[in-house]
């Protein structure tokens, strides 16, 4: 029985130990899930249920969480910082969060088709706070029936929203350039907007001192979809399994983007915005036009720039006036959540009642409940002007349908990569469209394979 | 006699004692394995197991979430070898490696030679040259971004003072030079290694060469370089491996939205292989394909390292026979 330590024995032992460590980790995480499941239905320690809320940093202030826990002492909320990779790991590891933030306008088909999100119709039907006839039309972006966004089961709800293709302008920059202010009722054409951007841009020694136009922001894909939709076309095929950028409408929209980027009048894929974004430059009277929804007002009203700003309707690319929402940021409940009832309690508390009213009066977005539409701030002239423009803009609200087979972030990334290459290598619009069809359809094809 | 006869059975009943040499050998062996065990367990759990897991994934079309992933055989590998983006990123990475490794190794040796001179304040200069190497990479890259900002950066401010047109430094093609300068900024680490190598060279050898009439250049080429060659080989091998796996710096130099960096926003000229792999995983959700790309890189790194080591056998001079070291102790 004398113990001998041979190299082979040692390696065998180490391998076993390593596997035990790895398996132990996995088992530990499973054990964690099992223990947590025991708490479902209020059976946890002391009769409390802890729900995991995954949101962006600082999105849910500790005071807000405390207010909820005071109102609902049987539920504790643990806030996790949102991270795609972490969410995937938690969902596939059987340790799903109970509430997740998301931009309903772009993610709903994906989280619905992949089975990640739970349908909430039963909860809405029973709710005394969130009544179906009080839900603003924007909440329909959180619906998906398998082929169309805007119909079918509800998978979430917006906390507030904006029609994100509208824009804000700085009147001081306009005055300095001797440019006419945009109409509050009639939309500008994209060509007129670019012309305006060129007029507002001031250069010195090759460097830009005042930028004219931030038209596409950080999400180009939804904006291109809007342009194509305005021109009467669609980017996605009817079954949402592929894209076609080679249609006349899509090529026109791509061509416009290339022209816009080459004009160098504001942020683009080849001239990115500064780290802090374009809003600080707008506040410093160094940006003429920022394409952003009503929500941006919340960041502007308290600043000195508020006395020389204006809000304008979404520009029009084709013959139809469309003004969609690209965000509709809200919450959804994962299908694998172990605490759906408790999660819904938080959902209902946050989306309705006092919390919703407080958001509506802040000016940081439009209320997602019809009953709160009159609560928008209008004390300052800028707030009053924005409210008037926004009220008229509601008539042109439309819902874009995204594909359930790929995350919009992936499509956005593919688009930006190809736009960069096209601008760098001076590709034609047709070549760009072909490259996009190739790249994006490959992503969608994988999604189709993994979903069906 | 009788005393001796009685004593013998007692000795036979007890377990036979191994000779002292064997016990010592077993003690040494156990101690050795006890010391290496934590590393080996970590290596197996955190390297071997994940690598095998990635190998398995590379034969599937998984996106990390779906339970409908299927076996695709070697499709991912075949696609990778025909993917123009992969070949482009591999080409850029190869070019980057061929540029940055010689420059950093040469630069670090030259700096080491400089601060090895018997001059006043050499400690100050050694510290000064080494300091950038201890600045965190993220901080250095973000500083670079501020310096090379097109409209507000001091680099273009200097260009303007000189009457030159401003350059869009952080976009193609200039961003390659910005990345290169960022890499060279940290050569203080290599300098320290080279300095240690230089100080290890026996002075008698240098003096003997000089006595024999060799000039400074000849002494350097025929005495210093051969004796420094193991250090140079080490720097080349680690430099090549690091350069082939570069990912953080190109991503940090790319535009970010609200502090969030995206592999997809890296300029084509600095879109290195690992950036492309990262994008496949975390931007496009192609975990199977990304895993195949990782295994391809692993094979490439293995082959290049093998070739460098083989080449090293011919050109590296070991002052002491490395094979005899184990036997001595």
Count of other CB atoms within 10 angstroms of residue A45: 9
Q: Mapping DSSP to helix (H, G, I), strand (E, B) and coil, where does residue A157 land?
A: strand
Burial of A214 (0-12, 13-18, 19+ CB in 10 A): buried
**Are the CB atoms for A234 and A228 separated by under 8 Å?**
yes
The predicted pLDDT at position A36 comes to: 38
Residue B329 pLDDT class (50, 70, 90 cuts)? very low
How are beta strands A167-170 and A287-291 bridged, if at all? antiparallel
Reported as a single tens digit per residue, the pLDDT across B127-184 is 999 999 899 988 999 899 989 988 888 999 899 889 888 898 988 889 999 999 999 9
Q: Mapping DSSP to helix (H, G, I), strand (E, B) and coil, where does residue B159 land?
A: helix
Q: Which of B37, B68, B264 faces A417 most closely, judged by CB atoms?
A: B264
Q: Give the tokens for residue B139.
A: 């901080």
> Closest by alpha carbon to A383, among A311, A325, A323?
A311
Q: Mapping DSSP to helix (H, G, I), strand (E, B) and coil, where does residue A226 land?
A: helix
Report, as an integer, the average pLDDT of B83-108.
95
Q: Do A207 and B151 touch (CB under 8 A)?
A: yes
Q: Mapping DSSP to helix (H, G, I), strand (E, B) and coil, where does residue A144 land?
A: strand
CA distances from B16 to A2, A5, B10, B19, B24 (A): 11, 19, 11, 9, 16
**Are the CB atoms for A390 and A376 separated by under 8 Å?**
yes
Residues of chain A numbered 202-241 and touching chain B (CB < 8 Å)? 205-209, 218
Residue A102 pLDDT class (50, 70, 90 cuts)? very high
**In chain A, what residues touch B33 (CB-CB under 8 Å)?**
5, 10
Q: For residue A87, is it left (φ>0), alpha (ψ between -120 and 50) or beta? A: alpha
The predicted pLDDT at position B22 comes to: 80
Q: Which of B150, B171, B267 faces A207 most closely, judged by CB atoms?
A: B150
Is pLDDT above 90 for A23? no
**In chain A, what residues touch B256 (CB-CB under 8 Å)?**
275
To test the contact with chain A by mutation, choose from B45, B60, B175, B252 the residue with the greatest count of A C-beta atoms within 10 A, namely B45
Chain B CB within 8 Å of residue A409 CB = yes
d(CA A343, CA A77): 9
**Are the CB atoms for B55 and B291 separated by under 8 Å?**
yes
Chain B CB within 8 Å of residue A261 CB = no
Report, as an integer, the average pLDDT of A220-233.
97
The predicted pLDDT at position A9 comes to: 58
d(CA B140, CA B159): 22
Closest-CA residue of A relative to B165 is: A206
**Are the CB atoms for A363 and A384 separated by under 8 Å?**
no
Q: Mapping DSSP to helix (H, G, I), strand (E, B) and coil, where does residue A81 land?
A: strand
Q: DSSP letters along B32-57, please?
A: HHHHHHHHHHHHIIIIIHHHHHHHHH
Q: Give the tokens for residue A329.
A: 């940021």
Is pLDDT above 90 for A11? no
- Hey, where are the domains in chain A? 42-161+327-396, 167-323+405-451
**Are the CB atoms for A335 and A111 separated by under 8 Å?**
no
d(CA A107, CA A123): 21
Q: Which of B33, B45, B66 faces A18 most closely, judged by CB atoms?
A: B45
Burial of A158 (0-12, 13-18, 19+ CB in 10 A): buried
Reported as a single tens digit per residue, the pLDDT across B283-302 is 998 999 999 999 999 999 99
Closest-CA residue of A relative to B257 is: A275
Chain A CB within 8 Å of residue B52 CB = no
Q: For residue A222, is it left (φ>0), alpha (ψ between -120 and 50) or beta? A: alpha
The predicted pLDDT at position A8 comes to: 56
Q: Mapping DSSP to helix (H, G, I), strand (E, B) and coil, where does residue B209 land?
A: helix
In angstroms, the separation between the Cα of residue A14 and the nearest Cα of chain B is: 6
Q: Which of B66, B171, B258 faces A277 most closely, judged by CB atoms?
A: B258
Count of other CB atoms within 10 angstroms of residue A391: 12
Q: Give the tokens for residue B83.
A: 């993917």
d(CA B101, CA A321): 56
Q: Which of B43, B165, B259 faces A206 most closely, judged by CB atoms?
A: B165
pTM of the prediction?
0.82
Count of other CB atoms within 10 angstroms of residue A371: 16
Report, as an integer, the average pLDDT of A408-430.
94
Reported as a single tens digit per residue, the pLDDT across A261-275 is 999 999 999 888 877
> What is the value of ipTM here, to two decimals?
0.79
Residue A293 pLDDT class (50, 70, 90 cuts)? very high
**Are the CB atoms for A218 and A344 separated by under 8 Å?**
no
Residue A6 pLDDT class (50, 70, 90 cuts)? low
CA distances from A110 to A94, A192, A228, B200, B309 (A): 19, 36, 21, 62, 49
Chain B CB within 8 Å of residue A270 CB = yes
Chain A CB within 8 Å of residue B28 CB = no
Mean pLDDT of chain A: 89
| Apex B101 CA angle, B98 and B102, nearest 5 | 85
Q: Give the tokens for residue B34.
A: 């006890």
> Closest by alpha carbon to B101, among B319, B305, B313, B250?
B305
Domains A42-161+327-396 and A167-323+405-451 agree in fold = yes
Q: Which of B49, B64, B255 faces A18 most closely, judged by CB atoms?
A: B49
Domains of chain B in start order, with CATH, are 75-319 (1.10.3720.10)
Reported as a single tens digit per residue, the pLDDT across A428-449 is 999 999 999 999 999 999 999 9
Reported as a single tens digit per residue, the pLDDT across A368-398 is 999 998 889 999 999 999 999 999 999 999 9
Q: Mapping DSSP to helix (H, G, I), strand (E, B) and coil, where does residue B283 land?
A: helix
Percent of chain B clearing pLDDT 90 (strictly above): 64
The predicted pLDDT at position A12 comes to: 56
Residues of chain B numbered 185-244 and touching chain A (CB < 8 Å)? none
**Residue with token string 């894929």:** A269
The predicted pLDDT at position B321 comes to: 57
Q: Count Cβ neighbours within 10 Å for each residue of A87-99 and write b for 16 or more, e otherwise.
A: bbebbeeebbbbb
The predicted pLDDT at position A255 comes to: 98
Report, as an integer, the average pLDDT of A81-86.
88
Question: What's the gap between Cα A451 and its chain centre?
Answer: 22
d(CA B183, CA A114): 43
Is pLDDT above 70 for A3? no
Residue A342 pLDDT class (50, 70, 90 cuts)? very high
How are beta strands A160-161 and A366-367 bridged, if at all? antiparallel
In angstroms, the separation between the Cα of residue B71 and the nearest Cα of chain A is: 12
Chain A CB within 8 Å of residue B47 CB = no
Residue A94 pLDDT class (50, 70, 90 cuts)? confident
d(CA A446, CA A452): 10
d(CA A428, CA A411): 20
Comparing A104-108, A220-224, B260-264, the range with the smallest average pLDDT is B260-264
Reported as a single tens digit per residue, the pLDDT across B237-255 is 999 999 999 999 999 999 8
d(CA A118, CA A393): 32
Residue B258 pLDDT class (50, 70, 90 cuts)? low
d(CA B267, CA A417): 8
The predicted pLDDT at position A27 comes to: 36
Is pLDDT above 50 for B4? no
d(CA A207, CA A210): 9
Mean pLDDT of chain B: 88
**In chain A, what residues touch B265 (CB-CB under 8 Å)?**
269, 272, 413, 416
Q: Which of A218, A277, A424 faces B268 most closely, judged by CB atoms?
A: A424
**In chain A, what residues touch B279 (CB-CB under 8 Å)?**
413
The predicted pLDDT at position A142 comes to: 97
- What number of C-beta contacts closer than 8 Å exist between A and B? 114
Q: Mapping DSSP to helix (H, G, I), strand (E, B) and coil, where does residue A310 land?
A: strand
Fold of A167-323+405-451: D-Maltodextrin-Binding Protein; domain 2 (3.40.190)
Q: Do B66 and A406 touch (CB under 8 A)?
A: no
Is pLDDT above 80 for A185? yes
Q: Do B160 and A205 touch (CB under 8 A)?
A: yes
The predicted pLDDT at position A29 comes to: 36
CATH class of A42-161+327-396: alpha beta
Chain B CB within 8 Å of residue A362 CB = no
DSSP alpha helix (H) spans, chain B: 2-13, 20-43, 49-57, 75-82, 84-115, 122-134, 137-147, 154-161, 174-184, 188-199, 203-211, 216-219, 225-244, 248-253, 273-278, 287-315, 325-328
Side-chain half-sphere of B164: how many Cα atoms within 13 Å?
A: 9
Whether the bond between B173 and the residue before it is cis, its omega within 30 degrees of 0, is: yes
In angstroms, the separation between the Cα of residue B69 and the nearest Cα of chain A is: 6
DSSP alpha helix (H) spans, A168-247: 171-177, 190-200, 220-230
d(CA B327, CA B329): 6
Reported as a single tens digit per residue, the pLDDT across A186-196 is 999 999 999 99
Is pLDDT above 90 for B208? yes
In angstroms, the separation between the Cα of residue A277 and the nearest Cα of chain B is: 7
C-alpha gyration radius of chain B: 28
Q: Do B44 and A15 touch (CB under 8 A)?
A: yes
Residue scoring higher pLDDT (A197 or A30): A197
Residue B303 pLDDT class (50, 70, 90 cuts)? very high
Chain B CB within 8 Å of residue A424 CB = yes
């Amino acid at each position: 029985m004398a113990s001998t330590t041979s190299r082979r024995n040692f390696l065998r032992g180490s391998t076993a130990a390593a596997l035990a460590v790895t398996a132990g980790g996995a088992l530990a995480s499973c054990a964690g899930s099992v223990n947590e499941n025991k708490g479902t239905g209020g059976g946890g320690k002391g009769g409390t249920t802890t729900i995991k809320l995954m949101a962006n940093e600082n999105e849910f202030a500790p005071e807000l969480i405390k207010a909820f826990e005071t109102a609902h002492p049987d539920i504790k909320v643990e806030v996790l910082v949102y991270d795609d990779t972490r969410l995937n790991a938690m969902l596939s590891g059987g340790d799903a969060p109970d509430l997740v933030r998301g931009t309903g306008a772009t993610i709903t088909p994906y989280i619905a088709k992949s089975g990640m999100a739970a349908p909430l119709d039963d909860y809405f039907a029973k709710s005394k706070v969130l009544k179906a006839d009080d839900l603003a039309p924007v909440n329909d972006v959180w619906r998906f029936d398998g082929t169309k966004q805007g119909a079918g089961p509800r998978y979430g709800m917006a906390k507030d929203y904006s029609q994100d293709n509208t824009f804000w302008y700085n009147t001081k920059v306009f005055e300095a350039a001797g440019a006419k202010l945009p109409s509050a009722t009639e939309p500008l054409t994209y060509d007129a907007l670019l012309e305006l951007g060129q007029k507002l841009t001031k250069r010195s020694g090759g460097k830009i001192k005042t930028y004219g136009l931030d038209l596409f922001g950080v999400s180009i894909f939804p904006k291109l979809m809007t342009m194509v939709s305005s021109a009467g076309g669609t980017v996605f095929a009817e079954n949402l399994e592929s894209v076609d950028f080679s249609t006349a409408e899509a090529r026109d929209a791509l061509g416009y983007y290339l022209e816009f980027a080459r004009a160098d009048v504001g942020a683009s894929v080849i001239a990115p915005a500064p780290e802090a974004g374009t809003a600080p430059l707008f506040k410093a009277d160094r940006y003429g036009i920022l394409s952003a929804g009503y929500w941006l007002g919340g960041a502007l009203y308290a600043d000195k720039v508020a006395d020389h700003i204006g809000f304008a309707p979404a520009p029009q690319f084709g013959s139809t006036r469309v003004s969609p929402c690209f965000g509709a940021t809200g919450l959804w409940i994962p299908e694998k959540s172990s605490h759906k009832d408790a999660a819904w309690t938080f959902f209902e508390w946050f989306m309705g009642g006092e919390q919703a009213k407080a958001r509506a009066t802040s000016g940081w977005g439009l209320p997602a409940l019809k009953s709160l539409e009159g609560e928008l701030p209008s004390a300052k002239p800028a707030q009053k002007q924005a409210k008037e423009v926004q009220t008229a803009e509601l008539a042109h609200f439309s819902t874009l349908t995204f594909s359930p087979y790929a995350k919009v972030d992936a499509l956005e990334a593919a688009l930006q990569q190809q736009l960069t290459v096209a601008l760098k290598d001076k590709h034609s619009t047709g070549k760009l469209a072909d490259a996009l069809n190739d790249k994006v359809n490959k992503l969608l094809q994988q999604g189709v394979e993994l979903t069906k | 006699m009788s005393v001796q006869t009685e004593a013998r059975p007692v000795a036979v009943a007890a377990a036979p004692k191994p000779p002292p040499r064997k016990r010592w050998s077993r003690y040494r062996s156990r101690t050795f394995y006890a010391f290496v065990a934590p590393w080996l367990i970590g290596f197996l759990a955190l390297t071997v197991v994940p690598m095998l897991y990635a190998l398995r994934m590379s034969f599937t079309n998984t996106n990390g979430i779906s339970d409908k992933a299927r076996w695709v055989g070697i499709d991912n590998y075949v696609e990778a070898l025909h993917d123009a983006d992969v070949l482009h990123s591999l080409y850029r990475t190869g070019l980057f490696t061929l540029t940055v490794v010689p420059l950093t190794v040469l630069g670090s040796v030259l700096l080491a030679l400089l601060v090895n001179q018997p001059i006043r304040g050499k400690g100050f200069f050694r510290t000064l040259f080494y300091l950038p190497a201890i600045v965190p990479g993220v901080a250095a890259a973000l500083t670079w971004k501020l310096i090379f900002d097109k409209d507000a950066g001091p680099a273009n401010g200097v260009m303007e003072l000189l009457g030159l047109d401003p350059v869009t430094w952080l976009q193609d093609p200039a961003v390659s030079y910005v990345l290169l300068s960022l890499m060279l900024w940290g050569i203080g680490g290599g300098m320290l290694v080279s300095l240690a190598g230089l100080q290890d060279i026996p002075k008698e050898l240098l003096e003997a060469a000089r006595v024999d009439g060799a000039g400074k250049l000849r002494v350097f080429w025929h005495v210093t370089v051969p004796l420094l060659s193991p250090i140079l080989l080490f720097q080349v091998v680690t430099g090549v491996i690091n350069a082939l796996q570069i990912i953080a710096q190109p991503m940090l130099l790319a535009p970010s939205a609200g502090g969030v960096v995206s592999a997809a926003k890296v300029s084509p000229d600095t879109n290195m292989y690992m950036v492309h792999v990262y994008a496949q995983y975390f931007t496009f959700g192609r975990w199977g394909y990304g895993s195949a790309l990782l295994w391809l890189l692993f094979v490439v790194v293995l082959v290049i390292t093998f070739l460098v080591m083989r080449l090293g056998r011919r050109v590296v001079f070991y002052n002491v026979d490395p094979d005899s070291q184990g036997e001595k102790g």
